[in-house]
Amino acid sequence: MLSPRRLGAIARKEFIHVIRDWRSLYLAMAIPLVLILLFGYALTMDLKEVPTVVWDQSHTPESRDLLSLFSGSPYFSILESHNSYQGLKAALDRGYAMIALVIPHDFAQKVQGNRDVTVQVIADGSDANTGRLALSYAGQLGLIYSGRIQAQRVRILGKGDLPVPVELVPRAWFNPDLRSQNNIIPGILAVVMVVIAAMLTSVTVSREWEMGTMEQLISTPLRVPEIVLGKVIPYFVIGMVDVAIAVAMGEWLFHVPLRGNPALLFSMAAVFLTGALFFGMMLSITLKSQVLANQIALVASYLPTLILSGFVFAIGNMPLPLQWLTYIVPARYFIALLRGIYLKGIGLEIMWVNALLLTLYALLMVLLAHKQMKLKLE
């Protein structure tokens, strides 16, 4: 049986150590702020004001009408005009522009003569994602301009408005403005928690071995569960405070809607944090080296969470072997829960499988840490 008195003594000892080690405590509080600010502002998939240069060989009202679509769009920002390909190439080479438009000299004549005309759009492919999106949006603006021309011709002929046989009306549910921050901020919670867990608990027991104080703990009446749980409790409290900070910053600073149940959010965060903390604890017990345990914990938890959880890269776009590998990454299920709670407002009636797998992960880490500690003390 666990003794509340002995468990409280170990937890109190660890709390005192955390308070005295003000550098670690400062990092535990500062890292969530830094990660949220960096990911929230720097990691964005939205396309806005792509720097654009133009070579307008036509210099006619028709060409200016086309360029007005680009200058009036929030996706493009026309910086300057050139009179040759060399100027466009120089702007793309030095990174001053990412898109170049070339309007041919006979643009107006072909438009007025109801003939096909080609406008060249050159993209800087060194940034593949931005280049792909910019080319797609430029194509859409081209279609809008073509529609305008066709509508004007129909009206000139006195046939009324141009009929539209099929009209697609797009609508995005759960994230109407398609803001990438609404998708990124919930995932940052998982990143913050694995970093905190890897940084703090991976050195708890290994520090005792290196300082020679583990022998003193062994000589006391303390039992293995009391040592393991007592050492985790302070860092669990710190981790949940970090979760509260991350949630508050997401709502107040980035205005990410929390449509679901906040209690469910914090309870699932507590389950995931428990598994992450005991994973770091298991490494600390096994390796007996603070530096080695901390490095392995970061590599084994932070990198999979960042790359293989669906936080940044869509799992469906990964090669099939990597898609299979993501099933053993706990953050995959936690991030799916977070996005469901944040953006869709759904609960365990739909996401119960994810919650169950997270719970099994936490229980497995608790059992492994307990077993490893018992083996080291025998």
pLDDT at res. 326: 93
- For residue 315, give the H/E element and its range: none
For residue 299, pLDDT over 90 is answered with no
**What percent of the chain is modeled with pLDDT above 90?**
20
Query: What local confidence, expressed as pLDDT, does residue 328 receive?
Result: 92
Contact 6, 221 (CB under 8 A): yes
pLDDT greater at residue 141 or residue 27: 141
pTM of the model: 0.79
Residue 98 DSSP one-character state? S
Q: How confident is the model at residue 355 (pLDDT cuts 50, 70, 90)?
A: very high
The predicted structure's pLDDT at residue 337? 93
Beta carbons of 272 and 330 less than 8 angstroms apart? yes
Q: Is the pLDDT of residue 375 over 70?
A: no
Q: Please give the average per-residue pLDDT across 6-10, as a whole number.
A: 79
Token pair recorded at residue 58: 């036509």
Whether 176 shows a pLDDT value over 90: the answer reads: no
CATH number of 50-156: 3.40.1710.10
**Is it the case that residue 264 has pLDDT exceeding 90?**
yes
How far apart are the two ends of the chain, measured CA to CA in Å?
A: 19
Q: What percent of the chain has pLDDT over 70?
A: 89
> pLDDT band for position 165 (50/70/90)?
low
What is d(CA 299, CA 64) in angstroms, rounded to the nearest whole number?
A: 54
Beta carbons of 191 and 161 less than 8 angstroms apart: no
The SS3 assignment for 254 reads coil
Residue 207 CB: number of other CB atoms within 10 A? Answer: 18
Higher-pLDDT residue of 255 and 14 is: 255
Q: Determine the length of the chain.
A: 378
The answer to whether 265 and 346 are in contact (CB under 8 A) is: no
Q: What angle do CA 168, 129, 99 make, to 5 degrees?
A: 85
**Amino acid letter, residue 307:** I
Could you tell me the two tokens for 378? 């025998």
The DSSP code sequence of 136-204 is HHHHHHHHHHHHHHHHHHHHHTT--SPP-S-------SS-TT--HHHHHHHHHHHHHHHHHHHHHGGGH
Q: Which residues, at least 6 apart from 93, have a Cβ–Cβ distance to it below 8 Å?
A: none
Q: What residues contact 129, with CB distance under 8 A and at least 6 apart?
A: 45
Angstrom distance (rounded) from CA 12 to CA 278 = 18
More confident residue, 172 or 53: 53
d(CA 304, CA 155): 59
Most confident by average pLDDT, 18-27, 144-153, 226-235: 226-235
For residue 147, pLDDT over 70 is answered with yes
pLDDT of 330 > 90? The answer is yes
CA distances from 311 to 149, 241, 263, 315 (A): 43, 22, 22, 9
Q: How many CA atoms within 13 Å lie on the side-chain side of 4?
A: 0
Q: pLDDT per residue over 81-125, tens digit each?
A: 999 889 999 998 888 899 999 999 888 888 888 788 888 999 988
Res. 218 pLDDT band, cuts 50 70 90: low
Whether residue 161 has pLDDT greater than 70: no
Domain boundaries, the chain: 4-43+179-377, 50-156
Looking up tokens 């940034």, which residue turns up? 127
Mean pLDDT value of segment 294-314: 85
- In this prediction, residue 215 carries a pLDDT of 62
Is the pLDDT score of 164 beyond 70?
no
